[in-house]
Amino acid sequence: MNVFLPAAGRGRLIASVSFAALACSAPAFAQDAPVALDEIVVSATGTPTPAREVASSVTVVTAKDIEQQQRRTLPQALAAVPGLNIVQTGGPGGQTSVFMRGTNSNHVKVLIDGIEANDPSTPNRSFDFGSMLTDDIERIEVLRGPQSGLYGANALGGVISITTKRGDGPPKATARIEGGSHGTFNQSAGFGGGDDRFNYAFNVAHFRTDAIEVTPPNLVPPGRRINPNAFDNYSYSGRIGVALGDTLSLNWIGRYQDGQLRYTGDTGFPSRPSPYRSLQNYAQAFTRGEVIWDPLGGRFVNTFGVSYTHQDRATRTADGATGLLGLPNENLGERTKLDWRGNLEIAKGHNLLMGLQYERERLDTESLIASNGNKAAYLEYQGNLQDRYFLAANIRHDHDDSYGGHTTWRIAPAVIVPGTETKLKASYGTGFKAPTLSELFIDYRPGYNFHGNPNLKPEESRGWDIGFEQPLFDRRLQLGATWFQNDIENLIVTNATRDSYANIGKAKTKGVEAFAALEVSPQFRVRADYTFTLAKDEIARQELLRRPRHKASATATWTPTDRLTLSATLLYVGPWVDGNRDFSVARMRAKGATLVNLAAKYKATDKVTVFGRVDNLFDKRWENPVGFLVPGFSAFGGIKVAFGG
């Protein structure tokens, strides 16, 4: 839904390093309490780096965060992240877009274990977040600002990088079952283990709801039936790592999602919510194989990879009079990618990251079969001077089969001020988004003589940010703020006068992200985030749709005993500009809302945990987007059992 519209470790451990373990573990000293290491960030530089050395704005959501707050879907896990606006049409399974720092929803590159997940079959190549579950997620990194210098196209707004769980330690298995409001009945099971030579992890999850109220009653004529949404999803994932020796390792990652959404479409003119539900089926496969060669004991680590994605969606629309489902409208998107990444330690604290990539994506619809390829090379320097001055700088050149060459770059310095330990940071970078296969070639409305435009140029951006982070009281209180701005040109928009697409759009987004994190005690922690965003269409001189100016969140976690954990989250999203449900009203003021979620879990034994949560505690009747209700008051509970380990 778009409106205006890799120093990576030592030896073979690079093949299977657990970044969450690096972030949370620490050596224990005989006379001191355990020392917590800095959180590790990977996406900002492509290599595991302590967060204090990173100048880019990155938010990390860990498996522990997801478990404490019991977030079962990816949109739920991302909801409180600063700089993001999540728009979902009617709860779990509904089409979900993410707007980052005011840029378009298709300006966010999504990676799942290094596999690009943006869908080539959608008109704007965006990723639908709505169908992804969180059971096997180890961490999510949200990297904000133009990132094409390292990641290439589609990263004008930033990158969301998802890492799944890796097996570690003795064999163990878990099983979870959960039920609750809206006909919810969820189950998941997983098992895994590993050591220095071999690791494995497999997971299966089923998510089901059959009574999500989506349609605002005021949009439905008297006497017309109102149907809820129903969502049914099965997700399967696995990963294996094998060390063949001290210098050679192999990795394999696979993921398959299969599901369906029954939803209420629109019918008639002017359109109204249909009395019958339409059906969307989808099947998504993601896989990647890697060979890691480390000939110099960690000084020059080489990763050779091949990735493949297959995303198939079929929609059957219900007849507004009879309810009969029509023939399926099927869209298939495929992407194959070959890549090499080399990480060279040229001196202590100084690394070069270099890489080559080749990818080809393919679109297959009823009216068009098309494909396009891209070749790329990139280089990045990462330096650490005296553990006070840090720099990451990269440059990348892409050559696309359809539009030719494009060079992007980024520089991000940071300094830790002695005495106060204030971190000053800044970044400046460029970004681009290549035209999609649909925008280039598809004639998806031949009855209106609307066609693709093979002469489109890439969308381009320049963006910068500057900010600080300040630890106080032995890091028990941390404060920070970052100011940002993005200037975007050659935006691809619909040109009605030419019945095609054209590069005539221009936009500017700017704002501030601020946070405060307080450890009241080892058992009680609070964090608050605030984002101000102003996003404007520079041609029409008006605000962009679905970009609220104000967003705030606060999360409190209390562990009164070793067995009990309580969590509370408050999310405020301010008013924004939107169209109505069928966009017969192109611009209107949409209301904001404040939502409160609660969660609790109790470890009854070392192997058994019971849990429960309440979402939307005060039953806010909120439309996001306009014409689609957010689920009201909801209560859920369940049990999780562990075996082995």
pLDDT at 47: 95
Please report how many Cα atoms fall inside a 13 Å half-sphere around the Cα of residue 174, on the Cβ side: 23
| Whole-number percent of the chain with pLDDT over 90 | 81
Q: Is the pLDDT of residue 530 over 50?
A: yes
Condensed to tens digits (0 to 9), the pLDDT of residues 505-518 reads 899 999 999 999 99
Band of residue 24 on the pLDDT scale cut at 50, 70, 90: very low
Encode 101-135 in three state secondary structure. CCCCHHHEEEEECCEECCCCCCCCCCCCHHHCECC
- DSSP annotation of 606 reads S
SS3 (DSSP) at 22:
helix
Consecutive H or E run containing 400: strand 389-400
Q: CA-CA distance, 112 to 47, in Å (whole number)? A: 16
Q: What integer pLDDT is reported at residue 23 of this predicted model?
A: 35
Per-residue pLDDT, 450: 72
pLDDT value of position 493: 83
- Which helix (H) or strand (E) segment is 24 a member of? helix 19-24
Question: Rounded to the nearest 5°, which phi and psi values hold at 475?
Answer: 70, 15
Distance of alpha carbon 587 from alpha carbon 356, whole angstroms: 44
- Judge contact between 395 and 412, C-beta under 8 A: no
CA-CA distance, 57 to 59, in Å (whole number)? 7
Is the pLDDT at 35 greater than 50? The verdict is no
Cβ–Cβ under 8 Å, residues 437 and 453? no
Torsion, CA 41, CA 47, CA 358, CA 295, rounded to 10: -150
- What pLDDT, on the 0 to 100 scale, is given for residue 593? 97
Q: Which pLDDT band, with edges at 50, 70 and 90, does 91 fall under? A: confident
Rg (CA), the chain: 24
Instruction: Give the number of other CB atoms < 10 A from CB of residue 195.
Output: 12
Return d(Cα 530, Cα 553) in angstroms, integer: 7
pLDDT at 31: 35
Instruction: Name which of 545, 600, 624 is nearest 67 in CA terms.
Output: 600
CB 55 within 8 A of CB 392: yes
State mean pLDDT over 182-207. 97
Residue 375 confidence (pLDDT) above 90: yes
Q: Give tens-digit pLDDT for 172-189.
A: 999 999 999 999 999 999
| Domains of the chain in sequence order | 40-644 (2.40.170.20)
Q: Would you state the structure tokens that stand for residue 307, as one six-digit string? A: 């990735």
d(CA 175, CA 189): 4
> Is residue 500 pLDDT above 50, yes or no?
yes
Res 147 pLDDT > 50: yes
| Three-state SS annotation for 194-221 | ECCCEEEEEEEEEEEEEEECCCCHHHCC
The mean pLDDT of 221-226, rounded to a whole number, is 88
Q: Is pLDDT of 3 > 60?
A: no
B/e letters for 307-327, b = 16+ CB within 10 Å, e = fewer, are bebbbbbbbebbebeeeeeee
10 pLDDT exceeds 80?
no
Instruction: Kindly list the distances between the CA atom of residue 391 and the CA atoms of 152, 349, 425, in Å, as whole numbers in the listed order.
Output: 20, 11, 10
Tell me what the pLDDT averaged over the chain comes to.
Answer: 91
